[in-house]
Structure 1
Amino acid sequence: MSIDAGSDPDAPPTQPNVADLVEELDELEATVDSPEERERVESVRETALSVSQQGSFGRIISGFDRADASEALLGSVLFGIPMFVEGGTSEVGAFLAAYPPFLIGTVGFTFALVFGILYVAEIQDVRVVDPLFGFIPQRFAGVLVIASTTALLLMTMWGRLTWSEPLVAIGELAAAILPMSVGGALGDILPGS
């Protein structure tokens, strides 16, 4: 593992961290030939990820389990309750129903925003492990499904969806799911678990 001291030769060397180790293991995995060697590298990677207990920030986050799902649910509910109790959500839903390209744009923006929070903004080092169908990150799908299901259930229970006009109901859901997905993503990754 290389240690880069930067441009100042008198500066103390930086200490490698778990992310550096995982990066080295990724490079090593690309060079091994046998399935047994790959399994060994994967085992060492999993061990490294499991011992990366550096507090709330700076840990490597991978997979998506029940704890992650409950954190995403909590974040979704916290960001969603204001959307359920105010009339603005219904107004936005009616507007989106009248302009379907804006409705589609809102859904696309929600997907892009959640993906950006999880994987681009580098709030935490979030790794994709075992993607669904080979390309959909579990954490991304989990946050969106939890926020969408929570919005659908709570807004239905509280009489906040206009079911007599299905496109308006979809617009109302889209308006609520956007902030709920943001809350779910942040609720999931900020604790660092």
Structure 2
Amino acid sequence: MKPIIHQVPYYSQWESPELVPDILDGTVQAADDPLWERSGAASEEEYEYWSWRLCGMACLRMALDFWWGVAPAAVRLAEECLEAGAYVRHPDGRLDGLTHVPFAAYVRERWGLDAQAHAPLPPDLVRRELAEGRLVMLSVHPSIRTLEPQPPRQGGHLVLAVGADERELLIHNPSGFPDGSQQYAKVPWGDLERFYAGRGIVLGPPSRPRAED
């Protein structure tokens, strides 16, 4: 296949991408991210809560910037998704989601993009969608950032597929490391299946004018 690379802006699920390794290993608390206010959170504590759950919002920001040239604050997007039923927040703080079908409906209605949830979503279809100019949010295990030999399960984290060739898939990973696993991270097709849950959301170009903010 002809190599595909979509020039998609990158966003981390934390406002300071260079701090991701330290946040993940606990050396730095997310609440201490000096750029937390950019997230739209009302407090450091709210940012701490949401930042661990913003992989889908980071993917959406990338797509919105790619097609619309806008990247709304991540926590503001999460609050809209909560209202749309794509997240369910329980009184004890647990958060269910991101649920793909209501999320895709939100993206279509709020942002005018073509968005379709697919389960299953086989790798061959991912390649075809990328070749046709679309982007694909994939449910993978977060250890895809290091190509962990034996991840404990598949799924649980969202990344954005932005390119591909015969050998590899290229992803923007919201929780990737700045040493090369954040932007255009290479995932050999033979390695993908041990991380990939086989489902995701295909995002296409705008189908109508963007909704007013």
Task: Give TM class, smaller chain.
Answer: under 0.3
Higher strand fraction (1 or 2): 2
TM-score normalised by length of structure 2: 0.23
Answer 1 or 2: higher relative contact order, Cα 8 Å, separation at least 6: 1
TM-score normalised by length of structure 1: 0.25
